[in-house]
Chain A
Amino acid sequence: MANQITDETIEYVGILAKLELSDAEKEEAKKDMEKMLDYIDTLNELDTDGVEPMSHVFPVHNVFREDVVTNGDGSADTLANAPLAKDQSFKVPKTIG
């Protein structure tokens, strides 16, 4: 079945992804996404009932750190690449309370 991506969906995904697309880009994105989803839908041919989703390939578990402070004052490094900074803080447009 062919996927239909609506304008609303592209708008919504743009909000989620924080991407602003021009009208032309939106049309392009709709077509691309429809095509990709049609292709991805071929996975539905596969019977995966009862198959456990695999996020990690290896059975590695319980990797921990001990609770010991080893980092010192990191402010200089943290702010070294800041596009805008003030008072040793990152400066951003006003956020609403």
Chain B
Amino acid sequence: MDITSMTAVEIGKKIKAKEITVADAVEAAIAQIERVEENVHSFVRIDKEGARKRAEEVQKMINDGTLTGPLAGVPVAIKDNLCTKGVETTCSSKILEGFKPTFTAEAVVNLEKAGAVILGKTNMDEFAMGSTTETSYYGETKNPWNLEHVPGGSSGGSCAAVAAGECAYALGSDTGGSIRQPSSFCGVVGIKPTYGTVSRYGLIAYGSSLDQIGPIAKDVTDCATILETIASHDSKDSTSIARESYDFTEGLVAEVKGMKIGVPRDYFTEGLDPEVKEQILKAVKVLEEKGAVVEEFDLSLVQYAIPAYYVIASAEASSNLSRFDGVKYGYRTSEYEGLHNMYKKTRSEGFGPEVKRRIMLGSFVLSSGYYDAYYLKALRTKALIKKAFDKAFASYDAIIAPAAPTTAPKLGESLSDPLKMYLGDIYTIAVNLAGLPGITIPVGKDSKGLPVGMQIIGDCFQEKKIIRAAYTFEQTKSYEAPELAKGDR
């Protein structure tokens, strides 16, 4: 029995049925980590002993009936921007080296209550700024489908870990596509929920008005189950929303008859790799054959999402990251002359180039004389983008889009031209600006054998609809793992 090829829900069921123990699941994950981690480097920190100890505790609670949920005993990996009490949390940055939070992020607390066993913290682009997981201070993560390619980012470590079978599922965060894009590159499923669905308490902020935590797993059932577990109305997060329903697994229905699906013409233009386009349109056809009503339409404003996003996200980031100053936690430069020199040296040595670039841009657009021209203009653009989506969702239940213009690029190709890298987020960013939910599911592979993901976008609070569409498609195609995950067994 190969546990690492199972989905989280399957593992949970087997544990519950006493076919396997929690320790079996955890040891299988650890063995897989030991086998592939050297090549993939999904993790920045692995806590084998902690996981083994926790496995025993969870097993006891399953045995005595305290834990009965679908994820009890299932091993998970957590993105390194989610605080875990007493366990180093760095956002893959030098500036947080050695930082051990004194509390655990609410989403992770919710997982722990459900009996999750945490294996470790996954690699990411430094402070979630990047689309390749190459800006990490702790070295890049590689794509399990082809080690010469990037896994995408910023949740590249989480997605690669799931694809490589190093964990049953993982948590990521998505500010401009950081769950959906790497899920697409790694051939896994990822959901970015409606803004406010999962508490941000304990998520180290990048762009506060855009950040959301979400699940990454092998299939839609897992993702719906995990989302159901981590979502909550949290009084510690003022932007957390009390939703009418958290039963996301109710969306797991293979039925799209009559569902109205919009395909934005302006997303399928010359910027899109023809192979990616072909795979997605094929998947759309499948849904149409299943009874969905598919229609092309013009979403409009597509080219304005990225510039608006970089103004808003960089501005918020410049403020959010100002707390990293060498006074209270993390890195402090060894030699300095006075307070401001300490600040400057600490931050200049502690942050990587991409983070500095965005802090500089964010500080500039907020500075005296530029606020109206840049920041307010971007917020007005955001309002128009939201309106464009509102109009679309008046006609459609879901919108289908690519997750990225290409499949995973080669390592080292993207960082040389930041603007070009930013353009890769064109299909995911608008969703964050408008606060919408989006899911990425694998639909096929390109000629290089790299996975192609399809993004299904829903209206606010309509996760169940996109889960239903994704689940319906998934029934037509079984999960495919990269060769590396299968090993030589």
Contact = CB atoms under 8 A, between A and B. Distances in A.
Given A16-B367, A18-B344, A92-B339, A53 B310 contact: no
Contacts of A94: 338-339
B156 interface: no
A19 B308 contact: no
B239 interface: yes
Of the candidates A33, A77, A92, the one having the most CB atoms from chain B within 10 angstroms of its own CB is: A92
B200 interface: no
Given A18-B340, A54-B380, A83-B326, A43 B307 contact: yes
Interface string A27-67: 00100110110011111101010011111111010010100
B328 A82 contact: yes
A81 B329 CA distance: 5
B48 interface: no
Interface string B85-118: 0000000000000111010000000000000000
29 contacts: A13-B360, A17-B360, A18-B344, A19-B351, A20-B348, A25-B356, A29-B360, A32-B361, A33-B361, A40-B374, A43-B304, A43-B308, A43-B377, A46-B380, A48-B380, A48-B384, A53-B376, A53-B380, A54-B383, A55-B379, A63-B239, A80-B100, A80-B102, A81-B329, A83-B329, A90-B327, A93-B339, A93-B341, A93-B342
B383 A93 contact: no
Given A10-B360, A25-B353, A32-B357, 14 more contacts: A13-B367, A18-B340, A18-B343, A19-B347, A32-B418, A43-B304, A43-B381, A46-B381, A48-B384, A54-B383, A80-B100, A83-B332, A90-B327, A95-B339
Q: Which 9 A-B pairs have the closest CB atoms?
A: A53-B379, A57-B435, A81-B329, A48-B380, A54-B383, A77-B102, A83-B332, A20-B344, A17-B363
Contact of A58 (B100, B241, B327, B359): B241
A40 B310 contact: yes
A84 interface: yes
A93 to B, nearest CB: 4
Contacts of B190: none
Contacts of A33: 360-361, 364
A52 B418 contact: no
A12 B102 CA distance: 36
A58 B310 contact: no
Contact of A18 (B238, B325, B379, B383): B325
A53 B195 contact: no
Given A18-B322, A55-B379, A93 B363 contact: no
Given A80-B100, A83-B332, A19 B195 contact: no
Contacts of A83: 326-327, 329-332
B357 to A, nearest CB: 6
Contact of A19 (B241, B311, B344, B367): B344
B387 to A, nearest CB: 9
A26 to B, nearest CB: 10
Nearest to A74: B102
Contacts of B341: 93
B349 to A, nearest CB: 9
Nearest to B102: A77
A39 B307 contact: yes
Interface in B299-340: 301, 303-304, 306-308, 310-311, 318, 322, 325-332, 336, 338-340
Contacts of B359: 17, 19
A14 B434 CA distance: 32
A46 B304 CA distance: 9
Interface string B166-201: 000000000000000000000000000001100000
Given A17-B359, A29-B357, A57 B307 contact: no
A19 B360 contact: yes
A78 B344 CA distance: 23
A94 B342 CA distance: 11
A4 interface: no
Interface in B362-389: 362-365, 367, 374, 376-384, 386
B198 to A, nearest CB: 14
B414 interface: no
B235 interface: yes
A74 B113 CA distance: 24
A55 B316 CA distance: 11
A60 B304 CA distance: 26
Contacts of A57: 195, 209, 386, 433-435, 460
B382 A54 contact: yes
B340 A81 contact: no
B196 A60 contact: yes
Contacts of A52: 380, 383
B195 to A, nearest CB: 6
B310 A84 contact: no
B350 to A, nearest CB: 10
A73 B300 CA distance: 54
Contacts of A12: 367
A16 B45 CA distance: 34
B345 interface: yes
A48 to B, nearest CB: 4
B419 interface: yes
Residue in A9, A41, A51 with the greatest tally of chain B CB atoms within 10 Å: A51
